Amino acid sequence: MPGKVPLLLLSLLSWFGTSHCCLQDPASAYRFTGAVCRLTYPAAVVLNEKTTKVIEAAFQHARYPSMKGEKSLLFIGKVMYGLDNLEIHNLSIGQSAFELHPGEGIAMEISNVSAVFKGSIQYGYGSWLVNFGHSVDFEIDSQIDLGINPKLYCGDGKVAADTADCYLNFHKLRLHLQGDKEPNWLKKLFTDFITLTVKLVIKGQICKEINKAANILADFIQDRAEQFLTDGDISVDIGIAAAPVITANYIESYHKGLTKYNNKVAVINESVFQPSHLTEDRMIYFWISDQFLNPMLKAAHQDGRFQLNVSGEELTTLLRTNLSTAMPELIRKCLLDSASPELILWSSSVPHLNSSTSGTTVWVQASGRLHCEGQGTPVLFFQTDMAVDITTSYVNKKVLLQGHPTEISAFRAELPLQDQQRHDEALEFLKEAVVKVGTPKVLSVLGVELTRLLDKQGLYQFDLFNPEVLPRDGFVVIQMDFGFPHHLLVEFLKRTLQ
């Protein structure tokens, strides 16, 4: 079914970085796939709003070479000419349309491109009748339809577009010398074959510039993606695992999703992706395997990301939350008698995540120690194995994590010798505090930190409508509608026109 699409569609799938190998058969690559991006037909409507700007940039940024030639004409003799300083003016673009050709590529048509080309021409013609030369300004009125049939393929481990199948249909291309709209028969004869030459030059340069713009756009989006997926020493290789698939309703790309940390790269070889996992109701879908997420959790743990320090009045306020278990005397005394008590919490084992239709569960061993002012030795140390059910949402450009422990085991606590007789009392208080105070606090801080990280990478700049995070068996689906941010297009155009 025909519709509208921008050149942006060719490059949006290049959001993900590069690698050096991909399989041509998508089905054989599913088990090596850590992430999938499905861009559906409705997304093209939004992207189309930006098409004309990119096409305009391609036309305006094109540099047309000087042309020289000669031709022999009856009764006149040899005609010599040169065209210089060809520039484009008064550009306007009608509309763009496209079709997705299943298993083949994308057919794009940009119609009603109107422009005036201006420059200067040197020409001379002579025979035994006449012999003279001229140097005059000229302009060319044009009306063009542009067609591109890009083929998507796996190029150097990323989604690439071959735009070699590019053509221009000229509905009007008329050259005028010195602004004379009605040239005499000699000028008309001259302009006829000059116009043919200009057609070839314009076609070659415009198609060349569109291919260049597509590559620049792909690199631009890819650079943004690489930045988005990198923080400190942690990065992700999301080169494609297989050639992209095109159906009548969507374009789908398959990505490796391999976490890189400390010169080590994760391995994914048992992914469970199937195309039936995704629907076509929303504009864009991201399918993310647990095998993608767990190495990221491991890298974050090894990088010391899962540590929280709570001190002073904030700590005192937290532990004064109404709990059914009485606060042990050593904790109460630490909070009241110390000007700056400090509680340090951290993950003491690599967290492990499991997604299912009932939710996402994270298993982790958590440890903590309480310090009082002026004491190098903690007054309390505790450690527990936990399973926490977590739900994730993105509301008002903020990550919200909510959850509760479903299992607490192997809970142990270490107290000073003089307080050993109160061990059981302290243990019960700590268990309740972990469930009712500690877990909500940790999830709240994690949500804030994830929001900060996403803001740092620029996600807040996008208009995301009703994003949903849906846990499934062994994977998570993120689905949403979106609006392409105008300022990113402006940034790209500035880069293109440099």
CATH (domain of 213): 3.15.10.10
Answer yes or no: is pLDDT of 472 > 90.
yes
Query: What is the model's pLDDT at position 481?
Result: 92
pLDDT beyond 90 at 147: no
Give the rounded distance of the alpha carbon of 485 from its chain centre. Answer: 12
Domain boundary among 173, 207, 224: 224
Hey, CA dihedral for 446, 448, 454, 459, is it positive or negative?
positive
Helix (H) or strand (E) segment spanning residue 406: strand 398-414
Is 236 a domain residue?
yes
pLDDT range class, residue 129, cuts 50, 70, 90 = very low
The per-residue pLDDT for 62 is 72
- Mean pLDDT value across the chain: 81
Q: Do 413 and 481 reside in the same domain of the chain?
A: yes
In a domain, 1, yes or no: no
| 32 occurs within a structural domain | no
Mean pLDDT, to the nearest integer, of 281-300?
95
pLDDT band at 9 (very low <50, low <70, confident <90, very high): very low
Per-residue pLDDT band at 11 (split at 50, 70, 90): very low
Q: pLDDT digits over 154-187, tens only?
A: 777 677 777 788 888 888 887 777 655 545 655 6
pLDDT of residue 308: 94
pLDDT: which is higher, 69 or 27: 27
Mark whether 247 and 155 lie in a shared domain.
Answer: no
Q: pLDDT tens for residues 58-114? A: 777 777 777 777 777 666 667 777 777 878 888 888 777 778 888 877 788 888 888
Residue 495 has a pLDDT of: 63
Among 224, 239, 274, the domain-final residue is: 224
Which of 153-167, 228-242, 337-351, 373-387 holds the top average pLDDT?
337-351
Helix H or strand E encompassing 418:
none
The answer to whether residues 166 and 185 belong to one domain is: yes
Residue 295's pLDDT is 95
* Residue that wins the pLDDT comparison between 93 and 443: 443
Q: What pLDDT, on the 0 to 100 scale, is given for residue 289?
A: 95
Q: Does 254 lie in the same domain as 177? A: no
* Spatial CA neighbour of 379 closest among 368, 366, 369, 390: 369
Convert the pLDDT of each residue in 251-266 to its tens digit: 888 888 999 999 999 9
Residue 17 resides in a domain:
no
What residues contact 227, with CB distance under 8 A and at least 6 apart?
457, 458
128 pLDDT above the threshold of 80 = no
Contacts of 73 (CB under 8 A, 6+ apart): 79, 125, 189
- Token couple for 90: 């008064």
Between strands 95-101 and 105-126, the pairing is antiparallel
Task: Tell me: do 158 and 302 sit in the same domain.
Answer: no
Determine the Cα–Cα distance for residues 326 and 341; give it in Å rounded to an integer: 19
| Whether pLDDT at 359 is above 80 | yes
CB atoms within 10 A of CB 160: 23
The answer to the question of residue 494 being in a domain is: no
Asked whether residue 446 is domain-assigned, the answer is yes
Q: Are residues 415 and 280 part of one domain?
A: yes
Work out whether strand 166-177 and strand 158-162 pair parallel, antiparallel, or are unpaired.
Answer: unpaired
* Domain edge (last residue) among 162, 189, 224: 224
Q: Fill in the amino acid letter for 439.
A: T
Residues 325 and 430 grouped into a single domain: yes
- Looking at the structure, do residues 132 and 250 belong to the same domain, yes or no? no
Range of lowest pLDDT (146-160, 239-253, 362-376, 445-459) = 146-160
- Range among 160-174, 288-302, 423-437 with highest mean pLDDT value: 288-302
192 shares a domain with 292: no
Whether residue 434 is contained in a domain is answered as yes
Cβ 66 vs Cβ 319: under 8 Å? no
Asked if 252 and 133 sit in the same domain, the reply is: no
Residue 211: partners with Cβ closer than 8 Å, 6 or more residues away = 163, 164, 166
Q: How far is CA 22 from CA 254, 267, 289, 372, 384, in A?
A: 9, 15, 18, 56, 43
> Does 390 reside within a domain?
yes
Same domain flag for 192 and 310: no
pLDDT band of residue 189 (cuts 50, 70, 90) is low
Domain that holds residue 272: 230-486
Q: Over 60: is that where the pLDDT of 300 sits? A: yes
CATH number at residue 298: 3.15.20.10
Least confident of 308-312, 316-320, 371-375: 371-375
- Percent of the chain surpassing pLDDT 90: 30
CA–CA distances in Å: residue 395 to residues 216, 220, 285, 404, 462: 33, 28, 17, 20, 13
Domain count, the chain: 2
Percentage of the residues of the chain whose pLDDT score is greater than 70: 80
In this structure, the answer to whether residues 205 and 269 fall within a common structural domain is no
Q: pTM for the whole thing?
A: 0.82
